[in-house]
Chains A and B, each alone.
Chain A
Amino acid sequence: MATLTQPGLDQIRSWLGEVPDPEVPAVSVMDLGIVRDVEWSGDELVVAITPTYSGCPATSVIALDIEAALRARGIERLRIERRLSPAWTTDWITEEGRQRLEAYGIAPPAERAKGPSPLDRFLRSTPPVIACPRCRSENTSRVSEFGSTPCKAQYQCRDCLEPFDYFKCI
């Protein structure tokens, strides 16, 4: 069914808020800050998205999911634009997104992104203290800098023994 009037941008953003991230389905592409811009260019809708990581295989799936969701709402002329700059940061994850991540068992980023790091940052780096999303204990340890996807690290809680993912800050 073709739409007779152009849906408003707030309406479109709210539809996009129902499109789950393919790898972390508890959060939407809006929660993660992957959708950078939504605008009408004449009768064509342009949605700008940015990859979380350069090699993130989910990016093309996300583009397809967004396209399918908007077409199902009757939007026929649609262009997905990929944007690299400014580079995605975990600071763009919304407050609701952080809460949903945690409820899903993934600890959200514990700190703000610092921008380009000082030269010797990694010479004195210590893993951030991350609270267990299950029992809230801060007595946790980092198992590995990388988890099931590049955007996550693996932690384990020393109190309840829960192994969990931490969405690391970039």
Chain B
Amino acid sequence: MSGQDALFEYLLRLGDNALILGHRLSEWCGHGPALEEDLALSNVALDLIGQTQLWLNLAGAVEGKGRDADRLAYHRDARDFRNVLLVEQPNGDFAVTMARQFYFDAWHYLLLRELMGSKDGRIAEIAAKALKEVTYHVERSREWVVRLGDGTEESHRRMQAAVDDLWMYTGELFESDEVDQAVIGGGLGPDPASLHEPWLGLMRATAEEATLTLPQPGWAQRGGKRGIHSEHLGYILADLQFLQRAYPGATW
């Protein structure tokens, strides 16, 4: 795999993670448990969609075939998406949404901090911009994990179930393949494995505060980074891409 091909793949992963999670969160719009939470979820979604535009536009520029962020978002099929499985998991109840968010935000935060030092200035500047936003995301999702975990019997039971059920999707965040190796070798991004210990540290500290039991390391679901997805992604794309598929190039 050439360096350009690996960089393109890597940027798709960054962009698709933000796109699919942003879409998932936007599904809450109008359904949040309280007006403030509805607004907050939509605002986090908006930040992620903004970051998607930056990453996917850069991916398109690196690819050099004239595809921009919209083209990449609306005209690829599920097998061409490179997001991790975690972000395509359904919203479930509010505990599931917040557990998924905290797992992702903590990892995202650690990753962006490293990407700020990327040798590719275009990556470094997007990371610096996104990190400011993601710092607020992780503060908020962490607060919710603590509030629900250390809340009522019911909220504790639900948050513990969410933390348990989503755990198997976190392993993929720290695995590397030839794309990651090329990115590490070129000084463009960190070794995913190097983020694992700091991430676990944040998880342990938060679980303790939230009176939750962190699951034991175990078998990890994987595949999203290579385009092997759960059945959920197809439904997301049907919703996300319908308009551009039915009316290609439609604008307003």
Encode contact with B along A66-106: 1 for CB under 8 Å, 0 otherwise. 00000000000000000011111100000000000000000
Question: Does B133 have its Cβ within 8 Å of any Cβ on chain A?
Answer: yes
A55 touches B136 (CB 8 A): no
Residues of B within 8 A of A122 (CB): 109, 135, 138-139, 142
The stretch among A17-25, A29-37, A148-156 that forms the contact with chain B is A148-156
Task: Tell yes or no: B12 within 8 A of A by CB.
Answer: no
Binds B, one of A2-10, A40-48, A113-121, A130-138: A113-121
Q: Establish whether residues B135 and A121, one from each chain, have CB atoms under 8 Å apart when the complex forms.
A: yes
Known contacts A123-B205, A144-B37; decide if A85 and B135 are in contact (CB<8 Å): no
Say yes or no: A55-B39 contact (C-beta < 8 A), given A84-B125, A85-B128, A123-B205: no
Residues of B near A144 (CB, < 8 A) are: 36-37, 39-40
- Interface status of B44 (Cβ within 8 A of chain A): yes
A36 to B50 CA separation, bound complex (whole angstroms): 20
Q: Contact partner of A116 among B48, B113, B206, CB < 8 A? A: B113
Asked if A146 and B139 sit within 8 Å, CB to CB, the answer is: no
Whole-angstrom distance from the CB of A70 to the nearest CB of chain B?
Answer: 25
A170 to B130, CA, bound (A): 11
Asked whether, in the complex, the Cβ of A147 is within 8 Å of the Cβ of B135, the reply is: no
In the complex, the answer to whether B116 meets A54 with C-beta atoms within 8 Å is: no
Q: Are A150 and B46 in contact (CB under 8 A)?
A: yes
Q: Which of B159-190 contact A (CB under 8 A)?
A: none
CB distance from B71 to the nearest CB of A (A): 18
The answer to whether A54 and B198 touch across the interface, beta carbons within 8 angstroms, is no
Residue in B36, B47, B142, B143 whose beta carbon sits within 8 Å of that of A54 in the complex: B47
A117 touches B135 (CB 8 A): yes
When the two chains form their complex, are residues B47 and A87 in contact, meaning their CB atoms are under 8 A apart? Answer: no
The distance in angstroms between the C-alpha atoms of A162 and B36, with both chains bound, is 16
Residues on A with beta carbons closer than 8 Å to the beta carbon of B129: 54, 84-85, 87-88
B50/A55 in contact, CB under 8 A: yes
Which of A54, A117, A145, A147 makes the CB contact (< 8 A) with B51? A54
The tally of CB-CB contacts under 8 A between chains A and B is 93
Q: Which of B51, B129, B138, B205 gathers most chain A CB within 10 Å? A: B129
Note all chain B residues with C-beta closer than 8 A to A53.
46-47, 50, 133
Q: Is B202 an interface residue (CB 8 A)?
A: yes
Per a CB cutoff under 8 Å, which of B39, B125, B130, B142 touches A146?
Answer: B39
Q: Does A11 contact B (CB under 8 A)?
A: no
In the complex, the answer to whether A146 meets B43 with C-beta atoms within 8 Å is yes
Contact partner of A87 among B43, B121, B132, B136, CB < 8 A? B132
> With a CB–CB cut-off of 8 A, which chain A residues contact B40?
144-146
Whether, in the assembled complex, B97 has its beta carbon less than 8 Å from a beta carbon of chain A, the answer is no
Q: Measured between C-beta atoms, what is the minimum distance from B33 to chain A in Å?
A: 12
- Inter-chain CA distance A53–B43, complex, in Å, is 10
Bound Cα distance A154, B54 (Å) = 28
- The answer to whether B36 touches A143 (Cβ under 8 A) is yes
Task: Tell me if A129 counts as interface (CB < 8 A to partner B).
Answer: no
Across-interface contacts of B142 in A (CB, < 8 A): 122-123
Q: Give 7 closest A-B pairs by Cβ, nearest first.
A: A55-B50, A54-B50, A85-B125, A144-B36, A146-B40, A55-B46, A146-B43
Using a CB–CB cutoff of 8 Å, the interface residues on chain B facing chain A are: 36-37, 39-40, 43-44, 46-51, 53-54, 109-110, 113, 116, 121, 124-126, 128-133, 135-136, 138-140, 142-143, 198, 202, 205-206
A-B contact pairs, 11 of them (CB 8 A): A53-B47, A55-B53, A56-B50, A88-B129, A117-B135, A122-B135, A122-B138, A144-B37, A144-B39, A146-B36, A146-B43
